[in-house]
Amino acid sequence: MASTATKTFKNFIGGDWVDAASGETFETTVPATGESLGTFPKSGPDDVDRAVEAAKAAFEEWRLVPAPKRGEILFRFGQLLADQKDELALLMAREMGKVLPEAAGDVQEAIDMSFYMGGEGRRLFGHTTPSELRDKFNMSVRQPIGVVGVITPWNFPIAIPSWKIAPALVCGNTVVFKPATDTPLLGERFVELLVEAGVPAGVVNVVHGGGGAVGDRLVRHPDVPVITLTGSRETGVEVMRNAAENLKHVHLELGGKNAIIVLDDADLDLAVDGIVWSAFGTSGQRCTAASRVIVQEGAYEELQSRLVAAAEKLRLGPGWEEGVDVGPVINRRALEKIHSYTEIGTDEGAKLLTGGEAVNGEGTFYRPTIFGDVDPEMRVAQEEIFGPTTALIRVRDLDEAVRVSNGIRFGLSSSIFTRDVNKAFRAMRDLEAGITYINAGTIGAEVHLPFGGTKQTGNGHREAGQAALDVFTEWKSIYVDYSGKLQKAQIDTAG
């Protein structure tokens, strides 16, 4: 098994740790300092082919393992995550950049998901229904599909793999996992713990490398019938296009441009807390981050003043240091993109209230940034920035707030702060999003409810909860006729 002490890591294929066929490697570094954490195989199509072959072979036995036994492995995996939560959180603070409490929360999501999906080993419910004929029994059951290609991002490097891999495994599928190239060490540890929990050889395989070489081959491979991806809208469109030739099952969790609505009657202290957490937690690098704040005009000036003051009190620094509120963004390329949107917003006429600049020195830190007087059609109010930037938009009433909130191409998370129960229920009904929070921010989903969005946030599937099982299973309808004679359904025998 690979060890962090060696600082050299390998792919895991068919139960063996192996180098990339090419022998090429890449590095993973600490975004707060630039320090190297290790060297990983820069894999290619040949490595993917080998991993898929191993997963396909392992599927024939794994699908026959009783589902409760598959669930027991996930229970053991969840316990291992719990036992090593502090170690994994510290590693995440270093490799990804999250502050320690957020990193621990990322690991906790994976613990929760593993235990929840472990329980599905004794459920995986189908249905029984009456037959229209005598002496006949009808039921539907879930069947595993085969090899699942799992492509995950760097922003939730333990949680998101668990959302995909845990349900895939309990349903009886096997996995080829491509972690993000910015967080390969966390992906490696994830797989090591699965192996320690008892996952058989070939059932889970990890292939490190870029999306162009590894991800694209996985998407196009004829023996990978299911692809699950969390990434950008542009990547999602490309994945759907490239998977179409083989009519694959494709699950996409893509972008967001989430809004918090604050009405005149809101508790402004609570609203500010929710906005700061949602906009600047994880340095804004969440698909559920609140990058828009839609404020009714009676509360606008006071909220703006309080929010700017709160943002300017946030402390930036390495995620593992005590008292740090905001860590670095993931890499230099992300830093440049975030700053480009500061320039776009300024050019469009938005008022820069605070932030808007990188922090000089080592690491990739960007100051929490707030724009005021933003028009809903400005690019900073329409496009996903994926950084610590939010835009304040003034509206007259709830109807306008809902129109503005819905006036984007995404539909992931939404939020409203109000003391009026009638307005809260109107928002629950009218906001076009897969998730709506009342008097809370746009982040904080729980694993036993479906997670995902509407419109161009995805392609209609959901992660977590019972809904996740539909991504990783096929329905089979079964009819058992015990009449001892041929009965013809849908044939009119009345005459």
Residues tagged active-site = 253, 287
What's the DSSP call for residue 22? T
376 vs 474: CA distance, rounded Å: 42
The partner residues of 147 in beta bridges, in order of sequence, read: 174
366 vs 359: CA distance, rounded Å: 6
Contact residues for 427 (Cβ-Cβ < 8 A; gap 6+): 261, 398, 402, 414, 416, 418, 436, 438
Angle at 287 between CA 115 and CA 179, to 5 degrees: 60
Cβ neighbour number for residue 46 with a 10 Å cutoff: 13
* End-to-end CA, the chain: 72
Q: Is 207 left (phi over 0), alpha (psi -120 to 50) or beta?
A: beta
Angle at 83 between CA 79 and CA 84, to 5 degrees: 120
b/e burial code for range 199-231 (CB count within 10 A of at least 16 → b): beebbbbbbbbebebbbbbbbbbeebbbbbbbb
| Residue matched to tokens 């830093």 | 335
| Residue matched to tokens 């993109």 | 337
User: Could you tell me the strand order of the sheet in which 174-178 lies?
Assistant: 16-18, 11-13, 204-206, 174-178, 147-151, 226-230, 249-253
What's the DSSP call for residue 315? P
The separation between CA 104 and the C-alpha centre of its own chain, rounded to angstroms, equals 16
Q: DSSP secondary structure string, 200-212?
A: PTTTEEE--S-II
The partner residues of 262 in beta bridges, in order of sequence, read: 295, 417
**8 A C-beta contact, residue 351 and residue 372:** yes
